[in-house]
Amino acid sequence: MKLFIKFDFNTICKKVLETKLEELDIKYRILAFGEVELLEKVPSEKYEALNDALNSYGIEIVENQKSILVQKIKDAIIDMVFNEDSTVNVKSSVYLSEKLGHSYGYLSNLFSEVTYTSIENFIIIQKIEYTKQLLLTTDLSLTEIAFKLNYSSVAHLSTQFKNATGITPSAFQRIISKRRSIAQQKN
Amino acid sequence: MPNDYIHIILADDDEDDRLFFTDAFDELKMNTKVNTFNDGVELMDYLNSEDAILPNVLFLDLNMPLKNGIECLNEIKANSKMSDIAIAIYSTSASEEDIEETFVLGANIYIKKPSSFKQLKKVLAEVVSMNWQYHTNSLNKDNFLMRL
């Protein structure tokens, strides 16, 4: 005997999703096809279990894998900026693609798609934020900071600071110290 | 595209400026929700109301009737409930004193209103993108100063 069956992928997937999420006791809401909102923070073991359960049906968690990879890119950049040893003589594009095992083009497109900025810009933002932090919390001069962050010259750092924020490093320091003295007067 | 939308408020008494502002965000490919208010009193009434959804970024015109931008800025900065809002001053003036004064009072961003629509879109995209970086990367908002 032969059976002829017709099936609806949407219904199957939805049913599988519901069953698996309920089995793992995860509170969820199905938003649209291909989109599920988890209503509470899911511990990583549970998340892994869900991922495995869904994978066995050929269902893949897409968005989250993207954001996990973006987070890895960010972590690698932060490590590169804050850890002086790792920056030596390696281009950031080479460093990132070697460390994460994807082509730089792929990483770069993915990053821009998810974060509203580019990898290049993100690196600059991290360096400038680190510069601000060092200016406010240490006695290092801008020249020393430029050296520490591997800038070719203090002028380069100073220009990049101005381009990224619209203000000069010294104006930044002046404004923050005025804010602090006002806050002190209030207390 | 990030899933969370970015909530933006503009307080400006100039109708044309409000229109350009909302049009610019309509054309930008960013997941934003924009509300506008016509003056500082309307704005503060909303922010102080029980069910207010506080914005990620608040754009404040400096010269408004009834309550001006500086007064709004001071009230917001004095209210710990509103401390997470990034404040962008949005003004026709670009005097150095105005700029430095608003920064010292706690503004994060100072924008001189651009003269072309194209430039406006570029500036707003830059502000929202930079604010998003602070928001999503737990950067220190006290150090968020930007002038455009």
Residue scoring higher pLDDT (A116 or B108): B108
Name the DSSP letter for residue A58: T
Chain segment B42-52, per-residue pLDDT in tens: 999 999 999 89
Q: Looking at the predicted structure, is the pLDDT value of residue A72 above 60?
A: yes
Please give the ipTM for the structure prediction. 0.89
Question: Which chain B residues have any C-beta within 8 angstroms of a chain A C-beta?
Answer: 1-3, 30, 100, 103-104, 106, 110, 128-130, 132-133, 136-137, 139-140, 142-143, 145-148
Q: What's the predicted TM-score (pTM) here? A: 0.80
Lowest mean pLDDT among A39-53, A65-79, A126-140, A147-161: A39-53
Cβ–Cβ < 8 Å for B134, B144 = yes
Half-sphere exposure of B42 (CA within 13 A, CB side): 13
- How open is the CA angle A168-A173-A176, to the nearest 5 degrees? 125
Do B44 and B75 meet the contact criterion of CB atoms below 8 Å apart? yes
Q: Which residue, among B141, B5, B10, B133, has the nearest Cα to B77 in the 3D structure?
A: B141
Nearest CA-CA distance, residue A104 and chain B, Å: 19
Q: CA torsion A97→A103→A109→A114, rounded to 10°?
A: -50
Determine the Cα–Cα distance for residues B95 and B101; give it in Å rounded to an integer: 10
Contact between chains at A63 and B130 (C-beta distance less than 8 A): no
Q: Where are the domains of chain B?
A: 6-147
| CATH class name, domain B6-147 | alpha beta
**Does A63 sit within 8 Å of B3, measured CB to CB?**
yes
pLDDT band at A87 (very low <50, low <70, confident <90, very high): low
Chain B residues within an 8 Å CB radius of A166: 110, 146-148
pLDDT at position B1 over 70: no
Pairing, β B57-60 against β B6-11: parallel
The rounded mean pLDDT for chain A is: 88
| Beta bridge partners of residue A34, listed in sequence order | none
Closest CA of chain B from A141, distance in Å: 18
CATH of domain A122-186: 1.10.10.60
Pick from B29, B137, B138 the residue to mutate for testing the A interface (most A CBs within 10 Å): B137
Q: Which of B106, B132, B143 sits opposite A129 (nearest CB)?
A: B143
Say whether B132 and A117 touch across the interface (CB within 8 A): yes
Assign A6 to helix, strand or coil.
coil
Decide if A54 contacts A17 (C-beta within 8 A).
yes
Distance, in angstroms, between A161 CA and closest chain B CA?
Answer: 10
Q: What gap in Å lies between CA B6 and CA B128, rounded to an integer? A: 8
Residue A33 pLDDT exceeds 80: no
Contacting residues for A58 by C-beta, under 8 A, at least 6 apart: none
CA distance B122 to B27: 11
Q: What is the pLDDT of residues A155-187, one digit of tens each?
A: 999 999 999 999 999 999 999 999 999 888 877
Distance of CA A138 to the CA centre of its chain: 27
Find the helix or strand (DSSP H, E) in which A34 lies. none
Residue A38 tokens read as 């988890």
In angstroms, the CA A186 to CA B76 distance is: 16
Residue B61 CA to residue B50 CA, distance in Å, equals: 24
pLDDT tens digits, one per residue of A16-25? 999 999 999 9
**Which SS3 state, helix, strand or coil, does residue A37 take?**
strand
User: Taking a contact as any Cβ pair under 8 Å apart, which residues of chain A between 35 and 94 contact chain B?
Assistant: 63, 74
Give the pLDDT confidence of B71-83 residue by residue, as tens digits. Answer: 999 999 999 999 8
What 3 state SS string does chain B have? Answer: CCCCCEEEEEECCCHHHHHHHHHHHHHCCCCEEEEEECCHHHHHHHHHCCCCCCCCEEEECCCCCCCCHHHHHHHHHCCHHHCCCEEEEEECCCCHHHHHHHHHCCCCEEEECCCCHHHHHHHHHHHHHHHHHHHHCCCCHHHCCEEC
| A111 reaches B (C-beta below 8 A) | no
Provide, as residue numbers in chain A, all residues whose Cβ is less than 8 Å from the Cβ of B110: 166
Query: Best mutation site among A38, A39, A116, A119 for testing chain B: the one with the most B CBs within 10 Å?
Result: A116
User: To which residue do tokens 């100063």 refer?
Assistant: B145
Q: How far apart are the CA of A6 and the nearest CA of chain B, in angstroms?
A: 34
- Where do the domains of chain A lie? 21-60, 66-116, 122-186
B138 contacts in chain A (CB < 8 Å)? none
